[in-house]
Structure 1
Amino acid sequence: MRFMPICAITLLAASTCMTSTHTVAAESQLVANICDYVKANDKNRLRKKLKENRVKLRNIYAGVSCEGNSLLRMAMLSKSDKVGSFIAKRLSSKELSKAEADGQTLLAWAQANGHAGSATFTVIKEKTGS
C-alpha cells in the first residue's frame, strides 16, 4: 500500500531535479549565444535568438553579463555599434542611466574608457537626454 505513494513522490522529485538542470543549461547557453552575437556585431542573429526564446532585452539586460561586462559595455569594447545601438534602443532611459556593478553609469564609463565616439554612446546619450 505504501509503495505507490513513495514511488510517486520519488518520480516527482526526480523529474523536478532533471527539469531545473535542463533549464539552467538552456539559460547559460542562451547567455553564451547572446554574448557571442554581441561580440560579433550580429544584430540579426541576436534578434532571432531573442525571438526564438521569447525573451525581451529589457527583461534580461540586468541579469546578463559577458566577461564581467554588461551587454552595452561589451558592445562598446567589441566595437559592435549595430548591436549596441539595437540594445540601447530597446532599453528604457532609466535603465541606461542606472549605475552598473562598479558604480559608474554607461556614459561615465564610456567617456573614461575612450568609447565616447561610438554610435552606441551616441544612442545612449540621446535616450538619456544627457
Structure 2
Amino acid sequence: MKLKFLPLIAVFATPLFATSASANDQVAESICAYIAANDKNSLRKTLSDSRIRIKNVYDGVSCDGLPMIRFAIKNNAADAAEFIIKQLPGSFVAKMGDSEWAASNGFAASPILEAIKARSAS
C-alpha cells in the first residue's frame, strides 16, 4: 500500500521543486544582469533580499558560460566585480586564475585585475 502513495508524493512534490528552481534561476539571471550593467547597488540589494552570499553561490552561477568575475571583466563592470571580489575569501580569489584568463583573452588592461591582485595578496 505504501508503494501506491509514493507516485502521488512525487507528482505533488515536483511542482514545489520546479518553483524553487525557477526562483533560483530568476535570482541568477538578475545577478548576471546587474553585473553586465555594472549596477553594484542593485546586485547588493538582490543578494540581500534573497539572503544569498556570493561565496555560497559563486561556483553555481555562471553568466554567458563564464564565472561572475570573468563575466564582469568581459563587460568592463569594475564596480560590480570589485564588490564580488571583496565578498570572496582572498585564498579563493587567488586560486581562480582570473588574471591569467584576462591576460590570455585580451583584457590585460582591465582595472578589475588590480582588485583581484589586491584581494589575492590579503
Distance 2:5 2:105 in 1: 58
Higher helix share: 2
Q: 1:121 aligns with which of 97, 113, 119?
A: 113
Q: Mind listing any 5+ residue stretches in structure 1 that lack a counterpart?
A: 100-104
RMSD of aligned Cα (Å): 2.1
User: Aligned partners of 1:55 and 1:15: how far apart in 2?
Assistant: 27
Unaligned runs of 5+ in 2: none
User: How far apart, CA to CA, are the structure 2 residues paired with 1:98 and 1:15?
Assistant: 43
The runs of at least 4 aligned residues of structure 1 exceeding 2 Å deviation read: 5-15, 113-119
* Residues 88 and 120 in structure 1, CA contact (< 8 A), matched pair in contact too: no
User: What is the CA distance between 1:112 and its match in structure 2?
Assistant: 1.8
Aligned length: 122
| Rounded Cα–Cα distance in structure 1 between residues aligned with 2:40 and 2:62 | 18
Residues 92-127 of structure 1 show CA distances to partners (whole Å, capped at 9, x for unaligned) of 12221224xxxxx11111122232332321111011
Q: CA deviation at 1:9?
A: 5.4
Q: Who wins on radius of gyration, i.e. which is larger?
A: 1
Identity in percent: 33
**Matched residue, 1:39:** 36
- Alignment correspondent of 2:51: 54
Within the candidate set 96, 108, 112, 2:100 is matched to 108
Separation in 2 of the partners of 1:96 and 1:71? 12
**Contact 1:85–1:119 (8 Å) recurs in 2:** no
Equivalences for residues 1-130 of structure 1 within 5 A: 12-99=9-96, 105-129=97-121
C-alpha distance in structure 2 between counterparts of 1:112 and 1:8, whole Å? 56
| 1:112 maps to amino acid | S
Q: Distance in 1 between matches of 2:27 and 2:78?
A: 21
* Structure 2 length-normalised TM: 0.88
